[in-house]
Structure 1
Amino acid sequence: MLTKKQLDLLDFINKRIQTDGVPPSFDEMKEALDLRSKSGIHRLITALEERGFIRRLAHKARALEIVKLPESLGGAPTAATQAFQPRVIDGGGTGPRDPQGAPMHVAELPVMGQIAAGVPIEAISHASHAVAVPGQMLRHGSDHYALEVKGDSMIDAGINDGDVVVIRETDVADNGDIVVALIEGQEATLKRFRRAGGGAIALEAANPAYETRIVREDMVQVQGRLVGLIRTY
Structure 2
Amino acid sequence: MLTKKQYDLLAFIKKRMDRDGIPPSFDEMKDALDLRSKSGIHRLITALEERGFIRRLAHRARAIEIVRLPEGLAQEDGFAPRVIDGGRDRAPEADLRPAADGYAIELPVMGRIAAGTPISAIQEISHNVAVPAGMLGSSGKHFALEVKGDSMIEAGINNGDIVVIREQPDASNGDIVVALVEDEEATLKRLRKNGSAIALEAANPAYETRVYRDDQVKVQGRLVGLIRTY
- Specify if TM > 0.5: yes
User: Match for residue 224 of structure 2?
Assistant: 227
Answer yes or no: is the 8 Å Cα contact 1:177–1:192 preserved in 2. yes
1:179-205 deviations in Å (ceiling 9; x for gaps)? 0000000010000001023x0001100
- The alignment partner of 1:188 has SS state of strand
Code of the residue aligned with 1:37 in structure 2: it is P
Q: What is the match of residue 155 of structure 1?
A: 153
CA distance 1:44–1:105, change in 2 (3 Å): same
- The partner residue of 2:215 within 218, 225, 229 is 218
Q: Is the 8 A contact 1:149 1:165 kept in 2?
A: yes
Alignment match of 1:43 (pick from 39, 52, 55): 39
d(CA) in 2 for partners of 1:109 and 1:182? 21
Q: Which of 136, 139, 145 is the aligned partner of 1:138?
A: 136
Contact 1:168/1:225 (<8 A) preserved = yes
**Structure 1: gaps (5+ residues):** 1-29, 48-61, 63-95
Question: Paired residue for 1:202, among 195, 199, 204?
Answer: 199
Determine the C-alpha separation between the residues in 1 that align with 2:102 and 2:202.
32
Residue equivalent to 1:118: 118
Q: Does 1:193 align with 2:180?
A: no
Secondary structure of 2:192's counterpart equals strand
Aligned CA RMSD, in angstroms, stands at 2.7
The size of the alignment, in residue pairs, is: 146
TM-score of the superposition, structure 1-length normalised? 0.57
- Amino acid aligned to 2:157: I
SS of structure 2 residue aligned to 1:105: strand
CA displacement, residues 198-229 of structure 1 (integer Å, 9 cap, x when unaligned): x0001100010011111000100000000000
1:54-103 CA-to-partner distances (Å, cap 9, x unmatched) read xxxxxxxx9xxxxxxxxxxxxxxxxxxxxxxxxxxxxxxxxx98xxxx63
Residues 36, 229 of structure 1: CA spacing in aligned structure 2 closer, same or farther, 3 A cutoff?
A: farther
Alignment of 1:171 with 2:169, yes or no, is yes
Measure, in 2, the Cα distance between the counterparts of 1:222 and 1:203: 11
- Cα-to-partner distance string for 1:151-198 (whole Å, 9 max, x where unaligned): 01111100000000000000010000000000000010000001023x
Counterpart of 1:50? none
Distance 1:160 1:104 in 2: 28
What are the within-5 Å matches in structure 2 for residues 77-92 of structure 1?
none
Cα distance, 1:138–1:46 mapped onto 2, change above 3 Å: same
Q: 1:93 matched to which residue of 2?
A: none
Q: Whole-Å Cα distance in 1 between the matches of residues 149 and 187 of structure 2?
A: 11
Aligned partner letter, 2:120:
P
Deviation at 1:125, TM superposition (A): 1.5
**Amino acid corresponding to residue 153 of structure 2 in structure 1:** I
TM-score under structure 2 length normalisation = 0.58
The answer to whether the Cα contact below 8 Å between 1:118 and 1:186 also exists between their aligned partners in 2 is no
SS at the partner of 2:134? helix
Distance between the aligned counterparts of 2:42 and 2:148, measured in 1? 23
SS of equivalent to 2:101: coil
